[in-house]
């Protein structure tokens, strides 16, 4: 391999290294990272899914299709991805083209059952690529939206040799600069970032500037709209249910005005009669709520793909809705019965 070709990727990596050093020196910037792309950018059409093989004989040559990311040191720290086992990549790994890799927790569990067991194992992305030692395991990262299962990831050094089908050293020449700052999303920070980048390479374009919050909102746009519509429909259904339960039970109790008059004429006291009517109304509500919960538990499983951080059968939500409906039943039984008991028994007995 000609020396000029071998040194070119190293010069390119040094350029990124210098840019990162310039960026981290900006006031308010606490960390800077570099990678081929940011989390959730797959939704914008930026993907790099590749096959990955493990050397472990117990896996019988199995392969996984994973999200492949080329990264530089401090990327995980900047993005906020926690290292579960092992270590992060270092600049020595990049400049010395060490055959190393970092994998996600779900990939480690898929092949080796636990994250720590993945350390020291070897993987590669093609038959032409060298075996790479797994030096770290990081937590799972959502890449297709937080409502979709996190894919398996393999993170490789942004400067590497014999990458995929290339027969020479390769460097990620375009990518994403992640910046953690107290001024994130401001025009002043963006101006400082452009100055820092162009002070190293005046021809380097800076575009598609965004924040992780914006990427998150974009990833959730369709799901959020669907959930808003469902929430409105659910709220209307709940309101109609409360009104319906109250109206039906209140009407049923009011039809027993004559019965109440007879009981009072025979000496029954309101303090003894009210609990009877309330219990009867509550019993009907409990039966209805039980049937409704059973039906809802089955139907809400159809919405599981729209839910994040909560199960399809959420106890708190079910308990709150059930309490509202039973409260409506209690009030619907109490007020009509109490009103009927204030009527003169003779007049009550004449009621149709």
Give the three-class secondary structure for 175: coil
Question: What token pair was written down for 17?
Answer: 């290294």
138 contacts 39 by C-beta, under 8 angstroms:
no
Closest CA to 284 of 317, 251, 260, 309: 251
Question: What token pair was written down for 82?
Answer: 């926690």
Domain extent listing, the chain: 3-210, 221-350
Instruction: Specify which residues 34 forms β-bridges with.
Output: 177
30: number of CA atoms within 13 Å, CB side?
A: 9
For the chain, 352 residues long, give each residue's pLDDT as a single digit of tens. Answer: 333 334 666 677 778 788 888 888 888 888 888 887 777 766 555 667 888 988 876 665 677 889 888 888 889 999 889 999 999 999 888 888 889 999 999 999 999 999 999 999 999 888 778 889 999 999 998 877 767 788 899 999 886 654 444 444 555 556 788 888 888 777 888 888 888 888 888 777 777 777 777 777 776 767 777 778 878 888 888 888 888 888 887 887 777 777 777 777 777 777 777 787 788 878 888 888 888 888 877 777 666 665 665 666 777 878 888 888 888 888 888 887 777 677 666 665 665 5
- Give per-residue burial for 303-340: e unless 16+ CB within 10 Å, then b: eeeeeeeeebeeeeebeebbebbbebbbbbbbebbbeb
């Amino acid at each position: 391999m000609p020396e000029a070709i071998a040194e070119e990727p190293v010069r390119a990596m040094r350029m990124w290294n210098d840019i990162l050093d310039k960026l981290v020196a900006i006031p308010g910037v606490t960390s800077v990272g570099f990678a081929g792309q940011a989390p959730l950018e797959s939704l914008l059409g930026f993907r790099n899914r590749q096959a990955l093989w493990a050397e472990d004989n117990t896996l019988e040559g199995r392969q996984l299709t994973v999200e492949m990311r080329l990264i530089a040191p401090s990327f995980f720290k900047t993005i906020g991805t926690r290292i579960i086992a092992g270590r992060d990549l270092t600049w020595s790994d990049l400049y010395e083209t060490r055959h190393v890799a970092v994998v996600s927790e779900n990939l480690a569990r898929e092949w080796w059952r636990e994250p720590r067991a993945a350390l020291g194992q070897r993987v590669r992305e093609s038959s032409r690529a060298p075996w790479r030692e797994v030096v770290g395991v990081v937590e799972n990262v959502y890449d297709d939206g937080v409502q979709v299962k996190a894919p398996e990831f393999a993170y490789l050094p942004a400067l590497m040799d014999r990458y995929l089908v290339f027969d020479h050293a390769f460097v990620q020449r375009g990518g994403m600069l992640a910046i953690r700052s107290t001024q994130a999303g401001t025009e002043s920070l963006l101006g400082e970032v452009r100055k820092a980048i162009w002070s190293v390479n005046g021809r380097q374009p800076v575009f598609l500037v965004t924040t992780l919050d914006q990427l998150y909102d974009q990833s959730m746009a369709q799901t959020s709209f669907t959930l808003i519509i469902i929430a409105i429909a659910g709220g209307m259904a709940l309101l109609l249910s409360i009104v319906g339960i109250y109206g039906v039970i209140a009407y049923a109790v009011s039809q027993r005005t004559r019965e109440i008059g007879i009981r009072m004429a025979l000496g029954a006291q309101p303090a003894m009669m009210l609990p009877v009517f309330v219990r009867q109304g509550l019993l009907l509500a409990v039966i209805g709520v039980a049937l409704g919960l059973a039906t809802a538990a089955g139907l809400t499983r159809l919405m599981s793909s729209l839910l994040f951080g909560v199960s399809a059968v959420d106890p708190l939500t079910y308990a709150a809705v059930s309490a509202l409906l039973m409260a409506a039943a209690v009030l619907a039984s109490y007020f009509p019965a109490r009103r009927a008991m204030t009527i003169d028994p003779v007049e009550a007995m004449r009621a149709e």
